[in-house]
Structure 1
């Protein structure tokens, strides 16, 4: 059998155990949430919500994630990575999808946002399930594969576009939310049956058995000390917080500015994330491996912040057409997608990988829970702020993200900490012959 030369493909084929279960089930995201997310904000507008309410809901969702994120480490250690992932995926996705599907006003969306915050529990447990039994040198490639799987799921976006074109925005989005609840349920069951509890998970379950919740909460003090004493973990935390804030604003208002400011028809909205995702997948198999070398993640981080910044500035600079979107509007949006697909994809992979590479392995679940809590606290205000800015001018939220990306550039340039004590970033892009 011929040896697969591409390191990412080789990792995908050779994955075993929990990493394979987590990566190989991830494409089901494309048949569930990825179909409906491009319409989430414009669906709210169609039901009578305004920009400030949409931004407020984004902030509430982040605050809910803070609370769940803080509890996530305790829950993950107590129940185990596998069981926690299954139960809290139901709470975080299936239940909110049903609330969104039958939403009539602001209060339905508020309830769904509060419950959806449980995603931080399952994000913690899922990360632990995926990487704890993996080889350290594979971690960045595994996160790259997760991003590629999510990107390739965008191939299903035309299904949503056809549904919206045939049925109209509101009924089509309700159907898509019901579909998301069903497909996510199938994903949850499949992952649970295919995975096994990790070695560290079994150890933490035994160590926390019989301990009170208050005693477990007190253990966060030691985990916080580990985090604060590690310059690398603090840097990873800052990179992840900036990335989360930019992602929050883009996820909430990119479709709003495209639809309401640039006058792109609703039926075309899912094609933009589809193109962005496909371009991102191409970059992960071509350019990104050349930048994430075994000795220099700093360069990759600078490229991620810089290129994403260029995409955001381009979006702000697009002239608003007097009527329907023009050919030049679509050309500029195409350039935005090209830049964002590389920059955002790079930053997603790096923000997750840097956290995983710098974390203390013996306290992974609690330290990562604290990190995620801090990330959500830092990002939460930007939902409300961007909603307020969008109410003034729909390009203003992206001026805000541009400033955040400049901060990230400066931080990576002057405060970099290698992921390995010898000064090298341990992320090999190819195996020895």
Structure 2
């Protein structure tokens, strides 16, 4: 049988064990949450939640994630990667989806946001489940596959548009949230059924058996020292924080901006993330592997920041139409989608990979818990700030993201730090060693 030449497809076919279970079940995330996310902010607006309150909810969600994120390493070590992922996926997604489906006002969204913050626990445990038994050389590709698997479900975005056209925005979104609760339940069961506890997870479970959570938390002082002494970890955290802040603003206000500022009709909203997702898929299997095939990842990171910056600037520069969105409006938004799809896909893969490659492997769960907590503390204010800016002008949040992306270019260009010295040799060229 001839060997597949495309590195992404080869990795997808060759995945085994937990890597396969994690990647192969990921499209179900898109069939659940990705169908409803394009309408999340508009749905809140429909129920009387103001721009400032939407931004406040984003910040409160981040603060909830900070608390759960700090506990995530201890919980993941004590319960194991597999059990933690199953239990906290139910808490973080199934329960909030039910609350969102029944929401009536700001307070319902507040309750769901606080509960949904528990996803930081499962993010830690799921990351460990995903990569701990995977060859380090494959980590960047595995994260790219995870993102691609989620984007694949964009093909089903017309379902959301059909529901909105047929039932109206409010009823359709409630149906989509109920669907998300059911599909996420299926995803949780499949991942639990076809995964096993990792080797590192079994060791950490044995080491923490009989140790109280409070004592484990007190040991974070030593883990924090590992982070502070590692220039590579601090650098990767800086990149992750910038990318996270930009993603937070875009996830909260991009759809709101094109709907309320550029007059894109409600029924067309899901087609924009659908097109962005399909473009991301295309880039993941074509251009991105070409740019990231070597050990030198600084240049691809700079390219990702620059292209994403161009997309944000184009959105700000798009003229407000007189009445309904015009053909020129959709053409400019199409350019935004191309630039955002490439830049966002590149930066997601590289930001996650850099954090995973710099982390201390023996203390992965606790180090990543502190890392995520630090990133969220830095990211949290941007929800409220962007909501305040959006209340004045719905293009202003993207002036903020443009500034953040310029900062990312400076950090990646001037402060780049190599990964661990034990990176693979030229026979496995996807893990970076030198810029």
Tell me: CA distance 1:145–1:423, structure 2 relative to 1, closer, same or farther (3 Å): closer
Contact 2:311 2:339 in 1 (8 A): yes
Matches within 5 A, 1:101-180: 101-180=101-180
Q: For structure 1, list consecutive stretches of 5 or more residues without a partner in the other structure.
A: none
Matches within 5 A, 1:323-402: 323-402=323-402
CA distance, structure 2, for counterparts of residue 248 and residue 72 of structure 1 = 21
**Deviations along 1:266-325, whole A, 9 cap, x unmatched?**
000000000001101111111111111322111111011110000000000000001000
**Deviations along 1:5-52, whole A, 9 cap, x unmatched?**
111001001100000000000000121001000000000000011100
CA distance, structure 1, for counterparts of residue 267 and residue 73 of structure 2 = 41
Q: Could you say which residue in structure 1 is the equivalent of 2:225? A: 225
CA distance, structure 2, for counterparts of residue 425 and residue 380 of structure 1 = 39
Contact 1:77 1:205 in 2 (8 A): yes
CA distance, structure 1, for counterparts of residue 289 and residue 18 of structure 2 = 24
CA distance, structure 1, for counterparts of residue 430 and residue 216 of structure 2 = 39
Shift of 1:429: 4.5
What TM-score, normalized to structure 2? 0.97
Contact 2:138 2:430 in 1 (8 A): no
Contact 2:137 2:424 in 1 (8 A): no
Q: For structure 2, list consecutive stretches of 5 or more residues without a partner in the other structure.
A: none
What's the secondary structure of 1:369's corresponding residue?
A: helix
- Between the two proteins, the alignment pairs up a number of residues equal to 430
Matches within 5 A, 1:31-430: 31-421=31-421, 428-429=429-430
What TM-score, normalized to structure 1? 0.98
CA distance, structure 2, for counterparts of residue 242 and residue 333 of structure 1 = 23
Q: CA RMSD in A?
A: 1.3
Shift of 1:421: 2.5
What's the secondary structure of 2:275's corresponding residue?
A: helix
Contact 2:55 2:383 in 1 (8 A): yes
CA distance, structure 1, for counterparts of residue 318 and residue 211 of structure 2 = 57
Contact 2:295 2:430 in 1 (8 A): no
Contact 1:85 1:126 in 2 (8 A): yes
Shift of 1:212: 1.5
Shift of 1:229: 0.8
Moved over 6 A (4+): 422-427
CA distance, structure 2, for counterparts of residue 184 and residue 336 of structure 1 = 30
CA distance, structure 2, for counterparts of residue 223 and residue 298 of structure 1 = 27
CA distance, structure 2, for counterparts of residue 289 and residue 173 of structure 1 = 36
What's the secondary structure of 1:94's corresponding residue?
A: helix
CA distance, structure 1, for counterparts of residue 168 and residue 295 of structure 2 = 51
**Deviations along 1:189-227, whole A, 9 cap, x unmatched?**
000000000000000000000112221011111111111
